[in-house]
Protein backbone atom coordinates (compact mmCIF):
# COMPACT_ATOMS: atom_id res chain seq x y z
CA UNK A 1 0.00 0.00 0.00
CA UNK A 2 1.18 3.51 -0.85
CA UNK A 3 1.22 6.19 1.83
CA UNK A 4 -0.06 9.60 0.70
CA UNK A 5 -0.36 13.06 2.23
CA UNK A 6 -3.00 14.21 -0.25
CA UNK A 7 -5.49 12.32 -2.41
CA UNK A 8 -7.59 13.93 -5.15
CA UNK A 9 -10.50 11.72 -6.23
CA UNK A 10 -13.58 11.63 -8.46
CA UNK A 11 -12.19 13.91 -11.18
CA UNK A 12 -14.60 13.91 -14.09
CA UNK A 13 -11.52 14.03 -16.33
CA UNK A 14 -7.98 13.55 -15.07
CA UNK A 15 -5.75 14.91 -17.83
CA UNK A 16 -2.47 13.10 -17.28
CA UNK A 17 -0.96 14.57 -20.50
CA UNK A 18 1.37 11.57 -20.44
CA UNK A 19 3.09 10.95 -23.76
CA UNK A 20 4.47 7.86 -25.42
CA UNK A 21 8.07 9.00 -24.94
CA UNK A 22 10.20 11.60 -23.19
CA UNK A 23 10.16 13.83 -26.27
CA UNK A 24 7.77 16.72 -27.02
CA UNK A 25 4.45 15.72 -28.53
CA UNK A 26 4.09 16.10 -32.30
CA UNK A 27 1.43 15.54 -34.93
CA UNK A 28 -1.38 13.23 -33.75
CA UNK A 29 0.24 12.90 -30.30
CA UNK A 30 -0.96 16.43 -29.60
CA UNK A 31 -4.55 15.19 -29.64
CA UNK A 32 -3.98 12.74 -26.78
CA UNK A 33 -4.48 14.10 -23.24
CA UNK A 34 -4.17 10.74 -21.50
CA UNK A 35 -7.59 11.15 -19.90
CA UNK A 36 -8.65 8.98 -16.96
CA UNK A 37 -12.38 9.34 -16.33
CA UNK A 38 -13.34 9.41 -12.64
CA UNK A 39 -9.62 9.74 -12.01
CA UNK A 40 -7.61 10.03 -8.82
CA UNK A 41 -4.10 11.12 -7.78
CA UNK A 42 -2.08 10.43 -4.65
CA UNK A 43 0.65 12.84 -3.55
CA UNK A 44 3.39 12.36 -0.96
CA UNK A 45 5.57 15.33 -0.14
CA UNK A 46 6.24 17.21 -3.38
CA UNK A 47 5.68 14.27 -5.72
CA UNK A 48 2.97 12.25 -7.43
CA UNK A 49 3.11 8.69 -6.09
CA UNK A 50 0.05 7.09 -7.71
CA UNK A 51 -2.73 7.76 -10.22
CA UNK A 52 -5.61 5.71 -11.50
CA UNK A 53 -9.37 5.33 -11.22
CA UNK A 54 -11.09 6.52 -8.06
CA UNK A 55 -12.47 3.01 -7.54
CA UNK A 56 -8.87 1.76 -7.20
CA UNK A 57 -7.89 4.02 -4.30
CA UNK A 58 -8.84 1.58 -1.52
CA UNK A 59 -6.68 -1.18 -3.02
CA UNK A 60 -3.61 0.99 -3.55
CA UNK A 61 -3.53 3.89 -1.09
CA UNK A 62 -3.22 3.78 2.67
CA UNK A 63 -5.68 6.38 4.01
CA UNK A 64 -5.26 7.48 7.62
CA UNK A 65 -6.22 10.50 9.73
CA UNK A 66 -3.32 12.53 8.33
CA UNK A 67 -4.30 11.98 4.70
CA UNK A 68 -6.04 14.99 3.18
CA UNK A 69 -8.73 14.13 0.63
CA UNK A 70 -10.12 16.49 -2.02
CA UNK A 71 -13.30 15.47 -3.81
CA UNK A 72 -13.00 16.75 -7.40
CA UNK A 73 -16.47 15.60 -8.46
CA UNK A 74 -17.59 17.25 -11.71
CA UNK A 75 -14.18 18.88 -12.10
CA UNK A 76 -11.23 18.53 -14.45
CA UNK A 77 -7.85 17.84 -12.84
CA UNK A 78 -4.72 18.58 -14.88
CA UNK A 79 -1.08 19.69 -14.65
CA UNK A 80 -0.26 23.30 -13.88
CA UNK A 81 0.23 25.57 -16.89
CA UNK A 82 3.80 26.27 -18.00
CA UNK A 83 4.10 29.80 -19.41
CA UNK A 84 7.34 29.45 -21.36
CA UNK A 85 7.64 33.05 -22.64
CA UNK A 86 7.16 36.09 -20.39
CA UNK A 87 8.72 39.49 -19.77
CA UNK A 88 7.97 39.73 -16.07
CA UNK A 89 10.08 42.56 -14.63
CA UNK A 90 9.36 46.08 -15.86
CA UNK A 91 8.11 49.50 -14.81
CA UNK A 92 5.81 51.99 -16.49
CA UNK A 93 2.71 51.52 -18.59
CA UNK A 94 2.03 51.69 -22.32
CA UNK A 95 -1.72 52.04 -22.70
CA UNK A 96 -1.20 55.26 -24.72
CA UNK A 97 0.59 53.23 -27.40
CA UNK A 98 -2.25 50.74 -27.32
CA UNK A 99 -4.64 53.58 -28.14
CA UNK A 100 -2.21 54.84 -30.83
CA UNK A 101 -2.34 51.44 -32.50
CA UNK A 102 -6.13 51.53 -32.44
CA UNK A 103 -5.76 54.84 -34.28
CA UNK A 104 -3.53 53.36 -36.98
CA UNK A 105 0.12 53.37 -35.86
CA UNK A 106 1.97 50.06 -36.08
CA UNK A 107 4.31 48.46 -33.54
CA UNK A 108 7.56 48.95 -35.48
CA UNK A 109 6.71 52.59 -36.25
CA UNK A 110 6.21 53.25 -32.54
CA UNK A 111 9.52 51.50 -31.74
CA UNK A 112 11.41 53.49 -34.40
CA UNK A 113 10.18 56.75 -32.84
CA UNK A 114 11.51 55.90 -29.38
CA UNK A 115 8.38 54.30 -28.00
CA UNK A 116 7.63 50.65 -27.54
CA UNK A 117 10.29 48.65 -25.77
CA UNK A 118 12.48 51.73 -25.27
CA UNK A 119 9.83 53.57 -23.25
CA UNK A 120 9.64 50.58 -20.90
CA UNK A 121 13.45 50.48 -20.78
CA UNK A 122 13.55 54.11 -19.64
CA UNK A 123 10.92 53.52 -16.95
CA UNK A 124 12.61 50.33 -15.75
CA UNK A 125 16.05 51.92 -15.55
CA UNK A 126 14.63 54.69 -13.37
CA UNK A 127 12.61 52.40 -11.09
CA UNK A 128 13.84 51.21 -7.72
CA UNK A 129 14.25 47.55 -6.91
CA UNK A 130 11.33 47.53 -4.47
CA UNK A 131 8.94 48.98 -7.07
CA UNK A 132 10.01 46.40 -9.65
CA UNK A 133 9.74 43.59 -7.11
CA UNK A 134 6.24 44.55 -5.98
CA UNK A 135 4.95 44.96 -9.53
CA UNK A 136 6.34 41.59 -10.54
CA UNK A 137 4.83 39.93 -7.45
CA UNK A 138 1.45 41.38 -8.42
CA UNK A 139 1.71 39.88 -11.91
CA UNK A 140 2.92 36.55 -10.54
CA UNK A 141 -0.15 36.53 -8.31
CA UNK A 142 -2.37 36.96 -11.36
CA UNK A 143 -0.54 34.15 -13.14
CA UNK A 144 -0.96 31.80 -10.18
CA UNK A 145 -4.62 32.75 -9.94
CA UNK A 146 -5.04 31.53 -13.54
CA UNK A 147 -3.20 28.26 -12.95
CA UNK A 148 0.37 28.98 -14.03
CA UNK A 149 2.85 27.09 -11.87
CA UNK A 150 6.11 27.58 -13.81
CA UNK A 151 7.30 30.40 -16.07
CA UNK A 152 10.22 31.41 -18.22
CA UNK A 153 11.02 35.09 -17.61
CA UNK A 154 13.31 37.32 -19.65
CA UNK A 155 15.35 40.37 -18.81
CA UNK A 156 15.58 42.97 -21.59
CA UNK A 157 14.10 46.14 -20.14
CA UNK A 158 17.42 47.40 -18.78
CA UNK A 159 19.88 47.16 -21.68
CA UNK A 160 22.83 48.23 -19.53
CA UNK A 161 25.06 45.85 -17.64
CA UNK A 162 23.88 47.09 -14.24
CA UNK A 163 20.18 47.15 -15.07
CA UNK A 164 20.20 43.73 -16.76
CA UNK A 165 21.97 42.31 -13.71
CA UNK A 166 19.36 44.01 -11.52
CA UNK A 167 16.51 42.34 -13.41
CA UNK A 168 18.12 38.88 -13.45
CA UNK A 169 18.87 39.08 -9.73
CA UNK A 170 15.29 40.16 -9.10
CA UNK A 171 14.08 37.04 -10.91
CA UNK A 172 16.11 34.91 -8.49
CA UNK A 173 14.62 36.81 -5.55
CA UNK A 174 11.07 36.56 -6.94
CA UNK A 175 11.41 32.79 -7.26
CA UNK A 176 11.95 32.57 -3.51
CA UNK A 177 9.09 34.89 -2.55
CA UNK A 178 6.13 33.04 -4.09
CA UNK A 179 5.19 29.56 -5.40
CA UNK A 180 5.75 29.90 -9.17
CA UNK A 181 9.06 28.49 -10.38
CA UNK A 182 11.03 30.84 -12.64
CA UNK A 183 13.49 29.93 -15.40
CA UNK A 184 15.59 32.97 -16.38
CA UNK A 185 16.60 34.21 -19.83
CA UNK A 186 19.06 36.99 -20.68
CA UNK A 187 17.49 39.21 -23.36
CA UNK A 188 19.95 42.09 -23.54
CA UNK A 189 19.35 42.02 -27.30
CA UNK A 190 15.74 43.17 -26.98
CA UNK A 191 16.16 46.60 -28.60
CA UNK A 192 18.97 49.06 -29.35
CA UNK A 193 19.21 51.60 -26.51
CA UNK A 194 19.55 55.28 -27.51
CA UNK A 195 23.14 55.59 -26.25
CA UNK A 196 24.33 53.22 -29.02
CA UNK A 197 24.66 54.31 -32.64
CA UNK A 198 23.21 51.14 -34.15
CA UNK A 199 22.50 47.47 -33.57
CA UNK A 200 25.97 46.35 -34.73
CA UNK A 201 27.71 48.49 -32.11
CA UNK A 202 25.34 47.36 -29.37
CA UNK A 203 25.62 43.69 -30.41
CA UNK A 204 29.40 43.96 -30.03
CA UNK A 205 28.89 45.41 -26.54
CA UNK A 206 26.53 42.57 -25.60
CA UNK A 207 29.02 39.95 -26.78
CA UNK A 208 32.15 41.47 -25.25
CA UNK A 209 30.87 43.17 -22.11
CA UNK A 210 27.42 41.90 -21.09
CA UNK A 211 27.36 38.15 -21.63
CA UNK A 212 30.54 37.38 -19.64
CA UNK A 213 29.06 39.20 -16.64
CA UNK A 214 25.40 38.10 -16.72
CA UNK A 215 25.82 34.47 -17.81
CA UNK A 216 25.92 33.11 -14.27
CA UNK A 217 22.51 34.65 -13.54
CA UNK A 218 20.54 33.12 -16.44
CA UNK A 219 19.75 29.79 -18.09
CA UNK A 220 19.20 31.01 -21.65
CA UNK A 221 20.21 33.75 -24.08
CA UNK A 222 17.57 35.27 -26.35
CA UNK A 223 17.59 37.84 -29.19
CA UNK A 224 14.82 39.84 -30.88
CA UNK A 225 15.67 39.13 -34.53
CA UNK A 226 13.60 41.67 -36.43
CA UNK A 227 13.76 44.85 -38.51
CA UNK A 228 14.47 47.83 -36.21
CA UNK A 229 16.04 45.38 -33.74
CA UNK A 230 18.80 42.84 -34.60
CA UNK A 231 19.81 41.32 -37.93
CA UNK A 232 20.12 37.59 -38.47
CA UNK A 233 23.93 37.82 -38.45
CA UNK A 234 23.92 39.82 -35.19
CA UNK A 235 21.50 37.30 -33.70
CA UNK A 236 23.84 34.47 -34.64
CA UNK A 237 26.89 36.12 -33.09
CA UNK A 238 25.08 36.94 -29.85
CA UNK A 239 23.62 33.45 -29.45
CA UNK A 240 26.95 31.76 -30.19
CA UNK A 241 28.65 34.03 -27.64
CA UNK A 242 26.00 33.04 -25.12
CA UNK A 243 26.62 29.34 -25.81
CA UNK A 244 30.31 29.80 -24.96
CA UNK A 245 29.24 30.92 -21.50
CA UNK A 246 26.70 28.14 -21.02
CA UNK A 247 23.57 30.07 -22.04
CA UNK A 248 21.36 27.90 -24.21
CA UNK A 249 20.00 29.68 -27.30
CA UNK A 250 16.42 30.70 -27.99
CA UNK A 251 15.13 33.52 -30.18
CA UNK A 252 12.26 35.83 -31.06
CA UNK A 253 11.98 35.38 -34.83
CA UNK A 254 9.54 36.06 -37.67
CA UNK A 255 7.14 38.14 -35.59
CA UNK A 256 6.60 40.82 -38.24
CA UNK A 257 9.15 40.02 -40.96
CA UNK A 258 11.17 37.07 -42.23
CA UNK A 259 14.80 38.25 -42.15
CA UNK A 260 16.76 35.02 -41.79
CA UNK A 261 15.95 34.03 -38.22
CA UNK A 262 15.02 30.45 -39.06
CA UNK A 263 18.38 29.88 -40.76
CA UNK A 264 20.13 31.12 -37.62
CA UNK A 265 17.98 28.88 -35.41
CA UNK A 266 19.14 25.97 -37.54
CA UNK A 267 22.81 26.99 -37.28
CA UNK A 268 22.86 27.52 -33.51
CA UNK A 269 20.46 24.64 -32.75
CA UNK A 270 18.07 26.89 -30.82
CA UNK A 271 16.14 25.17 -28.03
CA UNK A 272 13.06 27.23 -28.89
CA UNK A 273 12.01 29.79 -31.47
CA UNK A 274 9.17 32.10 -30.57
CA UNK A 275 6.45 33.93 -32.59
CA UNK A 276 6.70 32.66 -36.23
CA UNK A 277 3.66 34.73 -37.20
CA UNK A 278 5.25 35.28 -40.63
CA UNK A 279 7.04 32.18 -41.93
CA UNK A 280 7.64 30.58 -45.32
CA UNK A 281 7.73 26.89 -46.17
CA UNK A 282 11.53 27.10 -46.25
CA UNK A 283 11.45 28.69 -42.80
CA UNK A 284 9.36 25.83 -41.45
CA UNK A 285 11.82 23.36 -42.98
CA UNK A 286 14.70 25.15 -41.23
CA UNK A 287 12.94 24.92 -37.87
CA UNK A 288 12.29 21.21 -38.35
CA UNK A 289 15.96 20.64 -39.16
CA UNK A 290 17.02 22.76 -36.18
CA UNK A 291 15.07 20.50 -33.83
CA UNK A 292 13.63 23.56 -32.10
CA UNK A 293 10.30 23.81 -30.34
CA UNK A 294 8.13 26.59 -31.74
CA UNK A 295 6.57 28.74 -29.04
CA UNK A 296 3.43 30.26 -30.54
CA UNK A 297 2.09 33.45 -28.99
CA UNK A 298 -1.46 34.11 -30.20
CA UNK A 299 -2.00 36.85 -27.62
CA UNK A 300 0.41 39.14 -29.49
CA UNK A 301 -1.35 39.53 -32.86
CA UNK A 302 -4.64 39.64 -30.95
CA UNK A 303 -3.43 42.44 -28.64
CA UNK A 304 -1.68 44.34 -31.45
CA UNK A 305 -4.67 43.96 -33.74
CA UNK A 306 -2.59 42.62 -36.64
CA UNK A 307 -4.54 39.34 -36.85
CA UNK A 308 -1.44 37.69 -38.38
CA UNK A 309 -1.24 34.38 -36.55
CA UNK A 310 1.42 31.70 -36.84
CA UNK A 311 0.39 28.87 -39.21
CA UNK A 312 0.09 26.39 -36.36
CA UNK A 313 -1.54 23.62 -38.38
CA UNK A 314 1.17 23.77 -41.04
CA UNK A 315 3.88 23.70 -38.37
CA UNK A 316 2.25 20.69 -36.69
CA UNK A 317 1.88 18.90 -40.04
CA UNK A 318 5.64 19.37 -40.60
CA UNK A 319 6.29 17.34 -37.45
CA UNK A 320 7.53 20.29 -35.40
CA UNK A 321 6.54 20.40 -31.71
CA UNK A 322 4.56 23.47 -30.66
CA UNK A 323 4.13 25.16 -27.31
CA UNK A 324 1.99 28.18 -26.49
CA UNK A 325 2.62 30.99 -24.01
CA UNK A 326 1.34 34.43 -23.05
CA UNK A 327 4.36 36.60 -23.99
CA UNK A 328 3.20 38.65 -21.00
CA UNK A 329 4.65 42.17 -21.38
CA UNK A 330 3.41 45.78 -21.20
CA UNK A 331 3.53 46.51 -24.93
CA UNK A 332 2.36 43.64 -27.09
CA UNK A 333 0.42 41.31 -24.77
CA UNK A 334 -0.60 42.59 -21.36
CA UNK A 335 -2.18 39.29 -20.32
CA UNK A 336 -1.25 36.78 -17.61
CA UNK A 337 -4.01 34.23 -18.32
CA UNK A 338 -3.01 30.92 -19.89
CA UNK A 339 -6.68 29.79 -20.14
CA UNK A 340 -7.35 32.84 -22.33
CA UNK A 341 -4.29 32.08 -24.48
CA UNK A 342 -5.60 28.53 -24.92
CA UNK A 343 -8.90 30.02 -26.13
CA UNK A 344 -7.07 32.25 -28.63
CA UNK A 345 -4.97 29.33 -29.89
CA UNK A 346 -8.18 27.42 -30.58
CA UNK A 347 -10.09 30.29 -32.17
CA UNK A 348 -7.32 32.05 -34.09
CA UNK A 349 -4.84 29.26 -34.86
CA UNK A 350 -7.51 26.54 -35.15
CA UNK A 351 -5.89 24.22 -32.63
CA UNK A 352 -8.17 21.69 -31.02
CA UNK A 353 -8.62 22.07 -27.24
CA UNK A 354 -6.44 18.99 -26.72
CA UNK A 355 -3.66 20.36 -28.94
CA UNK A 356 -3.71 23.70 -27.12
CA UNK A 357 -3.67 22.08 -23.66
CA UNK A 358 -0.72 19.84 -24.59
CA UNK A 359 1.05 22.92 -25.96
CA UNK A 360 0.44 24.81 -22.69
CA UNK A 361 1.71 22.01 -20.45
CA UNK A 362 4.07 19.21 -21.50
CA UNK A 363 5.41 20.84 -24.67
CA UNK A 364 5.85 24.16 -22.87
CA UNK A 365 7.82 22.26 -20.23
CA UNK A 366 10.02 20.85 -23.00
CA UNK A 367 10.56 24.41 -24.28
CA UNK A 368 12.32 25.21 -20.99
CA UNK A 369 13.93 21.76 -20.73
CA UNK A 370 11.95 20.86 -17.60
CA UNK A 371 9.63 18.12 -18.88
CA UNK A 372 11.38 15.48 -16.80
CA UNK A 373 9.80 17.06 -13.72
CA UNK A 374 6.75 19.13 -14.75
CA UNK A 375 4.12 19.42 -17.49
CA UNK A 376 2.29 16.12 -16.99
CA UNK A 377 0.77 14.02 -14.21
CA UNK A 378 3.00 10.96 -13.88
CA UNK A 379 4.34 8.98 -10.95
CA UNK A 380 7.61 10.49 -9.77
CA UNK A 381 6.96 13.92 -11.21
CA UNK A 382 6.46 17.07 -9.20
CA UNK A 383 2.89 17.54 -7.99
CA UNK A 384 1.96 20.75 -9.83
CA UNK A 385 -1.77 20.25 -10.25
CA UNK A 386 -4.89 22.27 -11.05
CA UNK A 387 -8.48 21.52 -10.12
CA UNK A 388 -10.81 23.29 -12.54
CA UNK A 389 -14.47 24.15 -12.19
CA UNK A 390 -15.38 22.53 -15.52
CA UNK A 391 -16.51 18.96 -16.24
CA UNK A 392 -14.73 18.53 -19.58
CA UNK A 393 -11.45 19.91 -20.92
CA UNK A 394 -13.22 21.38 -23.96
CA UNK A 395 -14.91 23.87 -21.64
CA UNK A 396 -11.55 25.50 -20.78
CA UNK A 397 -11.26 27.38 -24.10
CA UNK A 398 -15.00 27.44 -24.75
CA UNK A 399 -15.81 29.67 -21.75
CA UNK A 400 -13.98 32.67 -23.14
CA UNK A 401 -12.07 34.90 -20.69
CA UNK A 402 -13.41 33.02 -17.66
CA UNK A 403 -11.04 31.66 -15.03
CA UNK A 404 -11.81 27.96 -14.50
CA UNK A 405 -9.13 27.47 -11.84
CA UNK A 406 -10.41 26.64 -8.36
CA UNK A 407 -7.40 25.07 -6.65
CA UNK A 408 -3.69 25.34 -7.50
CA UNK A 409 -1.29 22.78 -6.03
CA UNK A 410 2.45 23.46 -6.30
CA UNK A 411 4.97 20.84 -5.19
CA UNK A 412 2.20 18.97 -3.38
CA UNK A 413 0.98 21.99 -1.43
CA UNK A 414 -2.26 23.92 -1.96
CA UNK A 415 -1.08 27.45 -2.76
CA UNK A 416 -4.24 29.03 -4.20
CA UNK A 417 -7.99 28.66 -3.80
CA UNK A 418 -10.36 30.72 -5.95
232 by Cβ neighbours in 10 Å (0-12 / 13-18 / 19+) ranks as buried
pLDDT at 345: 99
pLDDT at 242: 99
Neighbours of 301 (CB within 10 A): 22
- For residue 405, the 8-state DSSP code is E
pLDDT at 104: 86
| pTM of structure | 0.97
Longest dimension (CA), the chain: 70
CA distance 121 to 123: 6
Full pLDDT tens readout for the chain, 418 residues: 999 999 999 999 999 999 878 999 999 999 999 999 999 999 999 999 999 999 999 999 999 989 999 999 999 999 999 999 999 999 999 998 888 888 888 877 787 776 788 899 999 999 999 999 999 999 999 999 999 999 999 999 999 999 999 999 999 999 999 999 999 999 999 999 999 999 999 999 999 999 999 999 999 999 999 998 999 999 999 999 999 999 999 999 999 999 999 999 999 999 999 999 999 999 999 999 999 999 999 999 999 999 999 999 999 999 999 999 999 999 999 999 999 999 999 999 999 999 999 999 999 999 999 999 999 999 999 999 999 999 999 999 999 999 999 999 999 999 999 9
DSSP-based three-state secondary structure for 219: coil
CA distance 211 to 208: 7
Angle (CA) 96-127-299 rounded to 5° is 45
Q: How far from 221 is each of 186, 247, 257, 268, CA to CA, in Å? A: 5, 5, 21, 12
Q: Left if phi > 0, otherwise alpha if psi is -120 to 50, otherwise beta: which for 99?
A: alpha
pLDDT at 248: 99
Which residues sit opposite 48 in a β-bridge?
A: 43
Are residues 290 and 311 in contact, defined by beta-carbon separation less than 8 angstroms? no
Residues with Cβ within 8 Å of residue 94, at least 6 apart in sequence: 115, 116, 119, 120, 330, 331
pLDDT at 117: 86
Which residues sit opposite 185 in a β-bridge?
A: 154, 220
Residues with Cβ within 8 Å of residue 148, at least 6 apart in sequence: 80, 81, 82, 83, 180, 336, 338
Amino acid sequence: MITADLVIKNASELLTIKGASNKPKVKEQLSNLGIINNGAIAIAGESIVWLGGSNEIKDNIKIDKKTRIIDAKNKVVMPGFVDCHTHLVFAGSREKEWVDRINGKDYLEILKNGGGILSTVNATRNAGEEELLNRALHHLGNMLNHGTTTIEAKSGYGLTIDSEIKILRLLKKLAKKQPIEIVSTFLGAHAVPPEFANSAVYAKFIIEKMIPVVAKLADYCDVFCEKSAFSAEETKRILLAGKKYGLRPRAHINEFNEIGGTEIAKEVKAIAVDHLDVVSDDGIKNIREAGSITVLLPGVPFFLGTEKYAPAKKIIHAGIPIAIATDFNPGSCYCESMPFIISLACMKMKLSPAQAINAATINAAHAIESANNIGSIEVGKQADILILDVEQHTQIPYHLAANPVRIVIKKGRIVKRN
